Amino acid sequence: MGGTWNDTNKEKALAFSDEKLFTVIGIWKDTSDLQFMVFGQHHKSGHYLYKLVVYRKRDSRSTQSIPIQKLIKDYKFNVICPPDKKGFCL
């Protein structure tokens, strides 16, 4: 399970290194049941995306992913539970 950045290029990837730019990723069950969100900012997330863009296989899609675990453990992103999931979320 991971956060996905579509149509990522070098400039977009590096933008996530900016301390003013935050990311929120929603984790859904089916199409209408929000389980939780992961929210935060860390300059290394942009560098991680940049490396994925630079070293991706030729002719591959420009969609990049960062595992949710990495966002929480390495980049200290916060987990936000929707009101209907309080007490049941992570």
DSSP 31-86: TTEEEEEEEE--HHHHHHHHHHHHTSPTT--S-EEEEHHHHHHTT-PEEE--GGGT
The confidence score (pLDDT) of residue 8 equals 77
pTM to 2 decimal places? 0.78
The confidence score (pLDDT) of residue 52 equals 87
The confidence score (pLDDT) of residue 30 equals 86
Per-block average pLDDT, block size 10, for the chain (90 residues)? 73 89 89 91 91 80 83 94 78
The confidence score (pLDDT) of residue 80 equals 92
The confidence score (pLDDT) of residue 1 equals 58
